[in-house]
Structure 1
Amino acid sequence: MSLKPAAKLINTNLSAHEIALDSAYQGIDDAAWTSLFGLAKKVKLEQFIADLFAGKPVNNSENRPALHSALRNLNKTSVLVNGQDVMPEVTEVWRRIEALCNKWVGVTDVIHIGIGGSDFGPRLAIEALAHVPDVDSRGMRIHFLANIDTADLNRILQRALPNSTRVIIVSKSFTTLETMMNAKAVVKWLKDHGRTDSQISHALYAVTANVRAAKSFGIDPNNVYPFWDWVGGRYSVWSAVGLPIALQFGFDTFKQFLAGAHAMDQHFKSAPLEENLPVIMALSLLYQQQKHHIKSYAVIPYADALDWFPKWLQQLDMESNGKSVDRDGKSVKFSCPVVFGSSGSNAQHSYFQLLHQGTEMIPIDFIAIREPMSHLPEAKEHHRILLSNCLAQAQALAHGKKTDNPNNTYPGKRPSNLLILPKLNAFYLGALLALYENRAATLGALWNINSFDQPGVELGKVLAKPIEAALKAGGNIQANEDIDAITANRINLINQFH
């Protein structure tokens, strides 16, 4: 395996909307690229991309389209689902979000209640954009409440001011256990602090596909923002799920976030495979699976603002493509590797020892930003050191170092990509997220996996119900058809301390 940037078939330095991708350290030669593009043609990748944007039922198990791209379709060109253009509904939600931004005053705290896809996207965006120099912000405290663990709930309720708090409940079904229990607890907190039913109703907002359930919960119908069954939760930040982004930073910033994603969609939709960033990244990962049987990969953004990006990506990739059977129910040879990562250069002082000298080859996506993220006097010097670390780590992983001392020998030949954003703002954050969404869809097409359902998450939810009942009942229990012997012993171990 050579990691010299010698490929001729593909330009290893590509760009889309000023986002640069350098794949020179992937070690893929002309013959391998020929084979990879041949595979892309064989699986009809270009047709899959066209079907994805055309609203075809690419989610074959649920017979649904996957039209998150429509949520950022700022051109408002028609997108048909079952013969109906969805863009008027999407546009109406944009109008309502903008109107709310213009009239929301006097709010000190926002408690955003949701889990999984209802949490990761807006949390990442709020965290990232808060780091942007000179960002226009209302300065509200945005509290993300996801975990059912009351420690998180308690911490938030100790800080929030009940008379000036608004609550956004995000659940596609409006039945998600953790979300609804946390929502009820927050409503009780508001009541305990003297808020009337009418005041609470107007303080609550819902983002859901189950509008009827949100109204039954007591939310003013004018405060219910819909999204649709053709939007997967992990792809939903572009919908009203991203409401906190607009409320904190303004609707124009939210629109720029959508614009960046839309721009990347247009690139993915129209660029030739050989120049298509999501496709090149997907084929590079597939190559490392085929050639080196990699089981994991890391994403390391050299920007503290993107520390939440790997956590968002874990759900996107592993919930989309973490499967052992394909669209036809047959076993697959490859599916999603384990995804991990954190911001550099912190990551270098954590697990880079394993990346350099461990027994497992782990490809890396390095993400760098050209401009520093502050106006401090030290910013340029610090940023130069940050970027030098990013480039040095990629070079060291690629080339390694041979010495007479095995302990000081680096095997090298560890592949990586480098993504460079010109700056980090709402536009480029949106483009980055859409790049990885489109890469996940491409990988699903290459593996013949449905990237838009997640049946594997359901079994544990079903099994949790009888276990919770046993914990509530207390005392010793015996194994039964719902609870095996080991779990029964564990329940008894917990119950003996209550």
Structure 2
Amino acid sequence: MPLQPSSTPQNSHTAVNVVLDTAYQGIDAPTWAKLFVEARQSKLEEYIADLFAGKHINVSENRPALHSALRNLHQTPVLIDGKDVMPTVAAVWSRIEALCSQWTGVTDVIHIGIGGSDFGPRLAIEALAHVPGISSRGMRMHFLANIDTAELARILARAEAKSTRVIIVSKSFTTLETTMNAKAVVNWLKDSGCSQSDITSALYAVTANVPAASAFGIAEENIFPFWDWVGGRYSVWSAVGLPIALQYGFKAFQEFLAGAEAMDLHFKNAPLEENLPVIMALALLHQQKIHGITSYAAIPYADALDWFPKWLQQLDMESNGKSVDRDGKPVQYSSPVVFGSAGSNAQHSYFQMLHQGTEIIPIDFIAVREPMSDRPEAVAHHRILLSNCLAQAQALANGKGASNPNDVYPGQRPSNLLLLPKLNAFYLGALLALYENRAASLGALWNINSFDQPGVEYGKVLAKPIEKALASHANNIAASELIDAVTAARINYLNS
């Protein structure tokens, strides 16, 4: 049975030239009205105002979540505990712009970071590389995140040591994977004949822990700060996004910030009924209530955005993957599992399950109106790409009956269509800010703190005694308070 899209204005909204079409969500006008009432009862409007006002909405850590200040190009005063943070933010912009003009003869940049220090800039570098006519300024940008030395070896095999610059990105500057990889790269520079002076000139840091970066050996003038009121997964707008400016120029980085700022202003000022992040949040909440959905897919019909679902996984699941709310009480709903990849590749992978599987999985289809290349085949190829995007949404929503059960498509699979006019730095910034603001809206609706991540810490604590046991090479490790019997047996096997 097909979803019944209503003819209400809620079906399609535009902000910052980005179109959101919810016609295949199957939500009629009375239901939308109830959802907006629920949003107001959840005090979502007050939450949005508090977010931009610098209130301490990160209640567990007692601090603001003011990543929006990082893209506040108009430099409207943003107060944290009575102090305007914009002068310090603008000072970092000036330093980034200056660095872009200073670097000459650089062939390789190795950006070392993990999680929020990696996903955002990596996504942006990959996405903007597809913009027709964009210049890479003659540099190769490498991202080193995994502690697995395979990634390290692959990068070092390609980079030219004497003309390489290294950016070490860690909010705390204590992240194990990042510091170990940074030491390995420094050793490579030494082994490649670089002097200590060369190495000092080559090293840069982006961190909230300036003393730790200095202790590592990074010159003060090469340290770019960011602040504890910026969460790692929201930090690409800070100097964490330095690779964007270095690779494509400071103007491109400004455009990236401008797109995000424009979406922020929409989120901050638009009524809930016209507010794209809010509408997307409410649609997902509705599907949780009606269908009990536990996952959703983000499918960008743009190869340039193949990294987008990976970025989104961290944003959504690290922000809102919680079992208790801001008051410490059990939650009814929290983040679904997020997955996805570029269409139309995805159609030849897991769309079988989306169409005929037993679980209803909502989809965000993301499409771009203009082709992403200037090849002579681009227009024809892009037309086929868009036709597949629209066809999949229609088939998932409406389904198809047949006498043969194998040929039945149940339908009633809800989806959004997000349509960007083109993919450039501005609209990439707008897209990322749209989803950041949706995550914040969902946090408010679920009464979840979207800006802490205590769940990632326990495994790090347990890893320390396990690593010590592995380093001992002993195969008689006994179970203890921090190493259970199963893990002890596995250590003994690995050490045998």
Give the TM-score taking structure 2 as reference length: 0.99
Residue pairs, 1:366-381, within 5 angstroms: 366-381=365-380
Per mean C-alpha deviation after superposition, the further-off stretch among 195-204 and 237-246 is 195-204
Aligned to 1:45: 44
Say which SS state the counterpart of residue 381 (structure 2) adopts: helix
User: Displacement, 1:80?
Assistant: 0.6
* Structure 1 residue aligned with 2:83: 84
Contact 1:7-1:28 within 8 A present in 2 as well: no
Instruction: State the one-letter code of the partner of 1:71.
Output: L
Contact between 1:400 and 1:413, CA under 8 Å: does it hold in 2?
yes
Structure 1 equivalent of residue 311 of structure 2: 312
Which residue number corresponds to residue 4 of structure 2? Answer: 4
1:481 corresponds in structure 2 to 481
In structure 2, the partner of 1:295 is: 294
Q: 2:109·2:165 contact (CA, 8 Å) conserved in 1?
A: yes
Within 5 Å, give how 1:61-140 maps onto structure 2. Answer: 61-140=60-139
Across the aligned residues of Structure 1 and Structure 2, the Cα RMSD in angstroms comes to 0.8
Counterpart secondary structure, 1:11: helix
Rounded Cα–Cα distance in structure 2 between residues aligned with 1:486 and 1:254: 49
Give the 3-state SS of the residue equivalent to 2:361 in structure 1: coil
Cα distance in structure 2, aligned partners of 1:81 and 1:203: 34
> 2: CA distance between counterparts of 1:72 and 1:145?
26
Partner residue of 2:428? 429
Q: Deviations over 1:322-363 (max 9, x none)?
A: 000000000000000000000000000000000000000000
The one-letter code matched in structure 2 to 1:213 is A
Amino acid at match of 1:335: S
SS at match of 1:225: strand
CA distance in structure 2 between the aligned counterparts of 1:7 and 1:332, rounded to whole angstroms:
34
d(CA) in 2 for partners of 1:95, 1:187: 28
Quick one: distance in 2 between partners of 1:149 and 1:231? 28
Q: One-letter code of the match for 2:5?
A: P
Q: Is the 8 A contact 2:295 2:336 kept in 1?
A: yes
* Equivalent-residue separation in structure 1 for 2:381 and 2:7 (angstroms): 34
Amino acid paired to 2:153? N
Q: What is residue 30 of structure 2 aligned with on the other side? A: 31
Are positions 1:490 and 2:483 aligned together? no
Please name the residue that 1:171 is paired with. Answer: 170
Q: Is the 8 Å Cα contact of residues 3 and 411 (structure 2) preserved in structure 1?
A: no
Q: Percent identity?
A: 76
Q: What is the CA-CA distance between 1:151 and the residue it aligns to? A: 0.7
The residue type equivalent to 1:454 in the other structure is Q
Q: Which amino acid aligns with 2:488?
A: A
How many angstroms apart in 2 are the aligned matches of 1:495 and 1:216?
34
1:206 is paired with a residue whose SS is strand
Partner Cα separation in structure 2 for residue 64 and residue 196 of structure 1: 42
1:201 and 1:220 in contact (8 A); partners too: yes
- For 2:180, the equivalent position in structure 1 comes to 181
- Name the aligned partner's letter for residue 289 of structure 1: Q
Say whether the 8 Å CA contact 2:56–2:63 is kept in structure 1. Answer: yes
Equivalent residues in 2 for 1:105-254 (5 A)?
105-254=104-253
Q: Say whether residues 1:356 and 2:355 are aligned partners.
A: yes
1:326–1:449 Cα contact (<8 Å) kept: yes
The alignment of Structure 1 onto Structure 2 pairs a total of residues equal to: 495
Deviation at 1:139, TM superposition (A): 3.0
* Other-structure match for 1:394: 393
Write the distance in 1 (CA, Å) between the matches of 2:2 and 2:49. 35
1:7: Cα distance to partner?
4.8
> Using the alignment, how far apart are the partners of 1:290 and 1:334 within structure 2?
9
Superposed displacement of residue 31, structure 1: 2.4
Q: Is the 8 A contact 1:478 1:485 kept in 2?
A: yes
Q: C-alpha separation between the residues in 2 aligned to 1:121 and 1:92?
A: 22
Is the 1:109–1:143 contact (alpha carbons within 8 Å) kept by the matching residues of 2?
yes
Paired residues of 2:70 and 2:238 also in contact (CA < 8 A): yes
**Shift in Å at residue 11 of structure 1?**
2.5
Which consecutive unaligned segments of at least 5 residues does structure 1 have?
none
How far off its partner does 1:397 sit? 0.1
Contact 2:168 2:204 in 1 (8 A): yes
1:230: how far off?
Answer: 0.1
Cα deviation for residue 434 of structure 1 reads 0.1
Code of the residue aligned with 1:409 in structure 2: it is: V
Please, which runs of 5 or more residues in structure 2 have no aligned partner? none
